Structure 1
Amino acid sequence: MKNKFNIDLRIFEDYYSADYFKKTREILNKFKPNQLVTMQWFQRKQNTVICGIEIIKEILRLSNIKNLVVEAVEEGEIVNALEPVLKITGKYSDFAHFEGLFDGILSRASTVATNARNISIAANGKKVLNMNDRMDYYTNQQIDGYASSIGGIKNLVTYASFEYLEEETVLNGTMPHALIASFNGDLIAATKAYKEVFPNNDLVVLVDYNNDCINDSIMVCNHFKNEIKALRLDTSPNLVDKSLANIEEVDNELHGVNPKLVKMLREKLDLNGHQNVKIIVSSGFDENKISYFEKNKVPVDIYGVGDAITKNKIGFTGDIVLIDGKKQSKFGRENAFSNKIKSIKYR
């Protein structure tokens, strides 16, 4: 069978299952072999974008379990605290080993999807680059790229991030600081080399290497005329760009990539005839910082985000809520109704 999400088949050998789930399965196989249970999954935050349902369906499809009744919300559905998002009815011994696994899938994917949606909303429709590849373990790129896309951020920077997606792979990215360093900090030389090796790529230049974003931006734009597509500012939060050195600072307002620096850059670019050059900002941008920039009408064209994609963890819990059709659950975890849940086929 085709394995759409490249599921590690060792999950069917209990490789990823907590020991107590395996032991519970053995106990129930001995004492309650025909017992039917309904397990319900939920989380505790408002406006959560649910993601991971399709991955769970794929796991169930690849399994040899035939008699489960599965109900779930649609991928990308927005739910609130305590709303059930997934219910499975069947012999608990058939799917006990998936309980914690499904918790984790829903948690990771829904966290990324929710953050992506919130960041997209904050950006007011402007393009957002998902640059989280450098902030997390590499094997998360596939599920994170998928979840990011479900949440609304489809601009990804690695091939792995597109693995679970049906969209055409179009990598987004700029030059790294390492390229400029390799040319002894010579931004012109590094940009020339980039252009020569990748003549058909958009020419996007990183301009904070020398902590002199304004002067380096004007220099590189003047040199390459109309060939520059965009400039990226990535100033570290512990630095103040040289162009702002003579401005009195209040509450670290001049540190890192800040509104004054971006507005100054836009003004200087326009005065020098580079009105078509876009401005990309990165380094420490999250939903709140993007909202602040948008509220203050900072002339940003594209936002780059990193670890903001995986912050604000959303945890899921699976609980038995019915046994043989009768109410039975941990206190406070009763069977809940939701008109968003629909019966689904997994085989």
Structure 2
Amino acid sequence: MKPLKYLKDLKEVKVERDREFFSATHEEIKNAWTTDVYFLRTQDILSHLGIQDKVVTAEIFAREKGVFAGLPEVMSLLKDKKVEVWSLEEGDTFEVKETVMRIKGPYSEFGVYETAILGILASSSGWATAARELKEVAKDKPVLCFGARHVHPAVAPVMERAALVGGADDASCILGAKLMRKDPKGTVPHAAFLIAGDTLEVARAYRDITAQDEKITILVDTFKDEVEEALRVAEFLGDRLYGVRLDTPSERGGVTPSLVYELRQRLNQKGFTNVKIIVSGGLTPERVAELSESGADAFGVGSYISDAQPIDMTMDIKEVEGKPIAKRGRIPGIIENKKLKKIK
């Protein structure tokens, strides 16, 4: 596969009619197949003028505040390029218009990657920021990312990795967790209970196939009243039970603070003070705060993270051959940011 640089290279882009998946492969991304075509035309024009290798300094800034993520993928794009890179570190926070990355080198070395670089940083930072918002209200209580089902599988691990960068404690997507050297976390979906026909049947099987030291969490909203089911499970599993999970659907009013509070009190009354209450289902920072106050111990969050809007990133040329320059409305020359670290 040939890297794209000029418009004439487009003849190399051959897409099979029976392609199984529409997401870009790693090679296609590295070879600029996901760039906007006008960057190839730019290279044609600069080459025609004989100035394609002018050394420029480009800066990337964000239009919203957030948490920075996506750096390793950007560096994978630039690792063989003759450029210098300064950047925030993953997990760093940034403010509106703050410079998050600076790239210096011949424009021909990195210009065609502007689309991919901005897309990587925009999406990853958006997901990381959403996770940080949740973790800030959850405080020392775990936040688990369950968002893989809400996005295309090609980007699910990118999303869940970004959530971990932002502060989520664990992720259910196998590849997303493994990318951060973590074990994926998750218990059992409603499907198992519906097929088995009874919550205790699943609890029994779960106990029998699980190592003695492994934590067991059981869903308690499939068939019966959540409090009744939780007490049945707690009495049946005893010390083997780590937690019960509430995922009451919106058709039944969802998981409410009063339900969490009642369940906590009823568990305590029966002596099950160590049983944790894990909640999920349409959680937002506001709901995490109120459910935590009511007694919830951990939070499984999907759509708030997966649906997070990308944080709009802009790349500006700020120097050409060492001379400050900028488009109208922007300040010429590099904008100092002491948080930037030399990466390459």
Q: What TM-score do the two structures reach when normalised by structure 2?
A: 0.86
Aligned partner letter, 1:22: L
Aligned partner letter, 2:274: N
Bigger mean CA deviation after superposition, 79-88 or 303-312? 303-312
Matched residue, 1:126: 141
Map 1:306-325 onto structure 2 (within 5 A). Answer: 306-310=302-306, 311-325=308-322
Matched residue, 1:98: 113
Matched residue, 2:42: 24
Task: Select the residue among 133, 150, 161 that pairs with 2:165.
Answer: 150
Indicate conservation of the 8 Å contact 1:35/1:324, yes or no. Answer: yes
The CA distance in 1 between the partners of 2:115 and 2:61, in whole Å, is 13
Aligned partner letter, 2:126: T
Q: Give how far 1:199 is off.
A: 4.1
Q: Give how far 1:276 is off.
A: 1.2
Task: Select the residue among 245, 265, 268 that pairs with 1:267.
Answer: 265
Q: Give how far 1:206 is off.
A: 0.2
Indicate conservation of the 8 Å contact 1:211/1:235, yes or no. Answer: no
The DSSP-based 3-state class of the residue aligned with 1:85 is strand
Indicate conservation of the 8 Å contact 1:14/1:22, yes or no. Answer: no
The CA distance in 1 between the partners of 2:247 and 2:237, in whole Å, is 21
Q: Give how far 1:223 is off.
A: 2.1
Q: Give how far 1:211 is off.
A: 5.1
Matched residue, 1:195: 207
The CA distance in 2 between the partners of 1:206 and 1:337, in whole Å, is 51
Summarize deviations over 1:67-124 as a string: whole Å, max 9, x none. Answer: x222212222211000111111222222111101000110111112111111111102
The DSSP-based 3-state class of the residue aligned with 1:293 is helix
**Cα distance 1:42–1:171, how it changes in 2: closer, same or farther (>3 A)?**
same
**Cα distance 1:229–1:342, how it changes in 2: closer, same or farther (>3 A)?**
closer
Matched residue, 2:233: 220
The CA distance in 1 between the partners of 2:176 and 2:239, in whole Å, is 32
Aligned partner letter, 2:199: L
Summarize deviations over 1:196-250 as a string: whole Å, max 9, x none. Answer: 23344322110111251011111221222222110000011231xxxxxxxxxxx
Q: Gapped runs of 5+ residues in structure 1?
A: 1-6, 240-254
Matched residue, 2:6: none
The CA distance in 2 between the partners of 1:265 and 1:183, in whole Å, is 25
Aligned partner letter, 2:225: D
Q: Give how far 1:340 is off.
A: 1.5
Aligned partner letter, 1:290: V
The DSSP-based 3-state class of the residue aligned with 2:278 is strand
Matched residue, 2:323: 326
Aligned residues: CA RMSD? 1.9
| Displacement over 3 Å in runs of 4+ | none
**Cα distance 1:24–1:11, how it changes in 2: closer, same or farther (>3 A)?**
same
Matched residue, 2:188: 175
Matched residue, 2:297: 301
Matched residue, 1:247: none
The CA distance in 1 between the partners of 2:48 and 2:169, in whole Å, is 49
Aligned partner letter, 1:270: N
**Cα distance 1:211–1:92, how it changes in 2: closer, same or farther (>3 A)?**
farther
Q: Which has the higher contact order (CA 8 A, sep 6+)?
A: 1
Indicate conservation of the 8 Å contact 1:237/1:256, yes or no. Answer: yes
Matched residue, 1:3: none
Matched residue, 2:13: none
Matched residue, 1:339: 338
The CA distance in 2 between the partners of 1:28 and 1:319, in whole Å, is 17
The CA distance in 1 between the partners of 2:115 and 2:272, in whole Å, is 54
Indicate conservation of the 8 Å contact 1:107/1:314, yes or no. Answer: yes
The DSSP-based 3-state class of the residue aligned with 2:258 is helix
The CA distance in 2 between the partners of 1:290 and 1:333, in whole Å, is 40
Map 1:251-290 onto structure 2 (within 5 A). Answer: 255-290=253-288
Q: What TM-score do the two structures reach when normalised by structure 1?
A: 0.86
Indicate conservation of the 8 Å contact 2:36/2:115, yes or no. Answer: yes
Matched residue, 1:15: 33
